[in-house]
Amino acid sequence: MSDNHGASAGSVALAFLSGILLGAVTAFLMAPQTGRESRDALLRAARRAGDDFKDISEKATHTWDDVVGKSREFMSEASSVVKDAVDAGKEAMRPVRDSYRDETNSKP
């Protein structure tokens, strides 16, 4: 029995990303630039981050669509295999079932 007192991976990642963001903003604000230059640099960084997020989102969507498509193919193939197995089982049991019916019908 172990207690889970450690931080989750998500909270560690969030803290790491928050630290990066805070460090970047501090660096921009403390840099020896004019306010306009700092704002322009922040705006460029925000646009790059937005573009990166858009790219990652598109890749994730594409990957998700691939996974869903492959899952549908797998389920279709699996259901076909199961149907064939059930049909083969029915066919294999037909002689046994027929002989049982013949035995019960021939008894007085």
**Is 2 within a domain?**
no
The string of pLDDT tens digits covering residues 51-84 is: 888 888 888 899 999 999 999 999 999 999 999 9
The string of pLDDT tens digits covering residues 20-31 is: 888 877 877 777
> SS in 3 state form for 9-34?
HHHHHHHHHHHHHHHHHHHHHHCCCC
**Is 3 within a domain?**
no
**Is 70 within a domain?**
yes
**Is 28 within a domain?**
yes
Residue 19 belongs to what domain range? Answer: 9-106
pLDDT of 44 over the 80 cut: yes
**Is 96 within a domain?**
yes
**Is 56 within a domain?**
yes
Helices 35-106 & 9-30, crossing angle to 10 degrees?
A: 160
Burial label for 28, CB within 10 Å (0-12, 13-18, 19+), is middle
**Is 4 within a domain?**
no
**Is 57 within a domain?**
yes
